[in-house]
Chain A
C-alpha cells in the first residue's frame, strides 16, 4: 500500500497532514525549563527517534503527548485538528499509547488485569469480564511473545522481558495509531531486543506513527526514519537518517549544536574523548 509508505523526506514541503504536530511546547518545573519551546511532528508509518543526554527533556516531552504531564503552553494537533490532552485517558482517546520506561505495571495484578488496566471489559451489568480479558490477552501475547504462558500470576513474578511484553501488549491491543516507546529495550536481553525491533518494524508497516526514545544510538539508527536530538529542553535539530552519520548525531547530543555550528576545537575534543 503506497499510502502507508514511510515518507522518505518528511520536510515542510510534505503535502500529507502529519499524524502528530507538537508546536512550541513548554514545561517547566519550578524555574527549570524541562521542555523549552519544542516543535516536532510525526507521520503515519514513520518512526521518529528522540535522542539526547540525561535530563535533555525527551521523556517529559513524550509525557506531554501521553497526557502524563500536561504542558504549560503550546499546541498539539492530531491529524491537523487541535487536540486537548490533559490526562492519560484523553491521550488514549486520541489513539496515543505509551510504553513507559518504568513499564507502569501494577505488580500485584496478573497479566490480563495489567493489559486492560483502566479499560477493563465489563458485561451487561457492569461486572468485570475476566474470561474475555484473559482470552484477548492470550491472543495479543501470542503475537508478541509465543512463549509467554503466565496469565494467572501477578506480574511481579515475571522476568524483565516478560514484563516488557505485558507493557507492549497493553499498547498494541488497543489499536494505537500513535505509539510512544520510552527506552523499550533497556531492560532486555539480545533475543528479546531483536523481538522488539521486529515488532517496531511490523507496527510501522501497519501505518502507526512511533516516537522512539532510546539511549542506544544504534537502535535509533536502525529503526528510525528521522532523528530529533534534544539538549537542555530544546531540539537541536531534526535530521533524516540517510543524511547523517552516528558521529554527527553523537556530536549534537554532547555539544547541543549542529555539526556546522560547532567549532573545530570542540569537534576535535570529541574525537579524542571518544576513542574508536
Chain B
C-alpha cells in the first residue's frame, strides 16, 4: 500500500517536472482542495456554495494584497511588523479625508464624484512615504527592520488617536464604498464574464509568447500536450470562478429594491441579479499581477532576491542595497493603503482597532505560501494562495461554529506544521 502511494507520488512528480509545473504551488493547490472538500463534507455541503466562496474571495482580498508585499520584505531578509498599524493609520486618515476634510473643512460637500479618488491617492502617497521612511531608517540608520517596524507598530497605531481622539469615522463616501465589495461593489454578470475571457486570452497569449521566445534561443520546449493541458486547466479554473461568482445572486430584498427604483416588474419568484466578481477581488488580482511582474521581471525584484540569497554578493555585484530596501518598504506602505481602502470601504467606517493583528495574518499568509525566513525564497502567487488557505480555515471553522479561540489554536498549529513540512521537503529535495 505504502509502496503504491510512493510510486504514484513519484510518477506524479515526474509528470509535473516534464510539464515544468512548480511542485510547491501544485502542493498548495492540492492542500487547498483538501481543505475545501473536507469542510464541505463535514458541514454537509455548506462550504462549496457560491455564497460562501464569494464571501471567502472578498475576505481573502485584504490580507492577500498585503501578503504580496510581505513576500519581498521577507525575501530580502527583513520583516515588517507595522503593516496592521500602518493599515489602521492610513484607513483612518482616508476616512478623515472624506468625512471631515473634503466635505467640512474645505466645504465641498459630501459624495462628490472625485472624493474617492482624492482619498485613495492621499492614502497611497502617505503609505509610500510612511513605508519608505521605515525603509530609510533600516538601510541608512542601520536599525534592524524588526525593531524599526516594531516601533512603527506602536507609532502608527498611536497616531490614530491624533484624529478626533479616535472616534469612529462614518459613514463613508458612496463611491468609495464600492472598493469594499458587497452586491453593488461587484462587477455584475457580463463584466465578470468579460474579465474571465480576457484572462483566458492573456493566459493563452503568454503561453505562446513564452514558447516562441524559448524556441528563438533554441532552448528546450515543454511538450505540446503539457502546454495545451496547462492552458485548458487555467482557463477552466478562471471561467469556473466567474461562473461561481455569477451564481451568487443579490439578496432578495436588495434585488426587489433595485427593481422598484428602476421600474422593473419583478418576474414571479423575484428578480435574480448575479453578483459577479467583487471589486476588492479584482484589486487583489491586479496587485498580484503587478507584484509578480515586479518580483520576477524587473531589476528591482531580481535585486531583492539576490540580497536575500547573499547580501554580501549583492553588495559586491554593485547593487544599491539601500535603495532596494527603501523601495520594498515603500511598496509595502502602498499595499497597506490599498488594503486599508478595501477594509474601511467594506466596514463603511474607520475604527481605532482597524487592522489590529493583521501583521500576523499577512506574515502567516506569506510563510504558508512558501516564503522562507532564511531569505531569497518566495513567490507572490504562493502568498496570495496562502492568504486564501488561512481565510478558508477561518471561514470553514466559522461555518462549523468553532469558537474564535479554537480557531486561533488551529490556525497557529497549521502555520507551524506547514512551515515544518516545507522545511522537511526542502531538505529531502536538496
Contact = CB atoms under 8 A, between A and B. Distances in A.
A42 B8 CA distance: 62
Contact of A128 (B302, B309, B375): B302
B315 A127 contact: no
Contact of B310 (A66, A68, A104, A128): A104
A72 interface: no
A131 B216 contact: yes
A182 to B, nearest CB: 11
A141 to B, nearest CB: 14
Interface stretch (A21-29, A87-95, A268-276): A87-95
Interface residues of B, number: 30
Interface in A103-121: 103-109, 113, 117-120
A205 interface: no
A100 interface: yes
A183 to B, nearest CB: 15
Contacts of A92: 318
A146 interface: no
Contacts of B297: 127-128
A134 interface: yes
B217 A108 contact: no
A126 interface: yes
Contacts of A106: 305-306, 309-310, 313-314, 376
Interface band, chain A: 20 to 34
B401 interface: no
B159 interface: no
Given A104-B312, A135-B217, A109 B305 contact: yes
B312 A118 contact: no
Interface in A130-188: 131-132, 134-135, 156-157
A157 B376 CA distance: 15
A122 interface: yes
B377 A108 contact: yes
A100 B305 CA distance: 20
A100 B316 contact: yes
Contacts of B319: 117-118
A102 interface: yes
B310 A107 contact: yes
B318 A119 contact: yes
B309 A107 contact: yes
A62 to B, nearest CB: 12
A206 to B, nearest CB: 23
A134 B377 contact: no
Nearest to A113: B302
Nearest to B299: A120
B253 interface: no
Nearest to A126: B298
A107 B310 CA distance: 7
Contacts of A118: 303, 306, 314, 317-319
B106 interface: no
B313 A105 contact: yes
B77 to A, nearest CB: 11
Contacts of B312: 102, 104
Contacts of B315: 68, 88
Interface in A4-19: none
Contacts of B310: 104-107
Given A88-B316, A117-B319, A134-B219, A109 B309 contact: yes
20 contacts: A67-B318, A88-B318, A102-B313, A104-B310, A104-B312, A104-B316, A104-B317, A105-B313, A106-B376, A108-B305, A109-B376, A117-B314, A118-B318, A126-B299, A127-B293, A128-B298, A131-B219, A134-B219, A135-B217, A156-B430
Interface of A: 66-68, 87-89, 92, 98, 100, 102-109, 113, 117-120, 122, 126-128, 131-132, 134-135, 156-157
Q: Considering the complex of A and B, which 8 residue pairs feature the smallest CB-CB distances, nearest first?
A: A118-B317, A89-B318, A108-B376, A106-B309, A108-B309, A104-B313, A117-B317, A118-B318
